[in-house]
Amino acid sequence: MTYKKSYEKPFKSIKKKSGSFFVFALILAALPFLACLVRLLATGNSFNDIWPIASTWNDEAMYYKQIEGMVKFGIPQGYFGYNESTAPSLTFGAWIPSILLPFSLWGKVFGWSFLSPYFFNMVFFAISLFIFALLVKPDLRETCLIFLTLFAFTPLSRLAFSYMPEILITGLVVILFGLYISADRTPRYISFLLMCLILVYLTTIRPYFAVLFVLPFLLSFKYDKKQRIFLIALTIVLGLLSVYLYSYLTDKYTAAYIGDVYTDYFGKIFTHGPRLVFNEATESLKYNF
């Protein structure tokens, strides 16, 4: 017990002297810029040396040109399906259009060039960490641990220098958990609602995020019985709605990913026998792996 008090006291005194968590929020917000700077220093390059056209990730070209079309014309111009197809409605590729909207809004305001996605990624993640810090109010020790943990996770800086949406998604998850921690300490309806809205958006672009509806579900137990029933029902309804939206938007506004995948193995068992079906399924799995 004596060790614990002597360990925590210096950090508590620093926190009191600061008088605000604003400084800690700024420290976390500086993380994306510092991480990207260190990556450039490690490779001996400047910001202008990055040449996205040389990327080996073909998804980057698809994202960039679709967003460029949205910035200039409202919707992409051309065929962006991987098999040179397009969506049943409009001209989007293999991803739901809503995942492109934040980037297109950035392009509308600040213009769209080869470096625009990098600026968006760094600024958005910085804002996400800043909001997280204001919500969670970490002390100096916690701020340092969060900073060092994320700084050591080098894929964050690599993805910041890409046209992929992973930084957008990661930033939203950071805000989501900030809201959860804040609401777990002091339950607020606004935090609950914001969590649900973020989860609806995340699930419509990546359906596996539906599992995180467990967070507002757990928060509902912070309220009395009547409020709890309402909030649980709301969580379930929004969770199901988000999965439906993903399915609807995928069917209507996205192109086929590559091609149809044969899955009628069950029916083929009765027409060709289980041994043939087993061999075909095994070969298919080996090939795709």
Nearest to 207 by CA among 56, 98, 71: 98
For residue 289, what pLDDT is reported? 79
Which of 29-43, 80-94, 145-159 shows the lowest mean pLDDT across its residues? Answer: 80-94
Cα separation, 210 vs 204, whole angstroms? 9
Nearest to 31 by CA among 160, 162, 175, 173: 160
For residue 278, what pLDDT is reported? 86
Which of 29-33, 59-63, 98-102, 192-196 shows the lowest mean pLDDT across its residues? Answer: 59-63
- C-alpha distance from residue 42 to each of 45, 55, 149, 160 (Å): 8, 19, 19, 16
8 Å CB contact between 60 and 50: no
Mean pLDDT of 189-201: 95
Residue 14 has pLDDT above 60, yes or no: no
pLDDT band at 28 (very low <50, low <70, confident <90, very high): very high
Mean pLDDT of 185-198: 94
What separation, in Å, do the N-terminal and C-terminal C-alpha atoms of the chain show?
54
For residue 17, what pLDDT is reported? 46
Residue 234 has pLDDT above 70, yes or no: yes
pLDDT tens column, 244-281:
999 888 888 888 776 555 556 667 777 778 888 888 88
Cα separation, 62 vs 100, whole angstroms? 11
- C-alpha distance from residue 97 to each of 15, 30, 63, 78, 128 (Å): 44, 30, 10, 15, 22
For residue 5, what pLDDT is reported? 46
Tell me what the pLDDT averaged over the chain comes to.
86
- Backbone angle region of 77, left / alpha / beta, with phi > 0 → left and psi within -120 to 50 → alpha: beta
Mean pLDDT of 2-9: 44
Q: Please state the φ and ψ torsions of residue 219, each to the nearest 5 degrees.
A: -65, -25
Residue appearing with tokens 């009395």: 224
- C-alpha distance from residue 221 to each of 203, 227, 233, 250, 281 (Å): 23, 9, 12, 34, 45
User: For residue 11, what are its two tokens?
Assistant: 């950090």
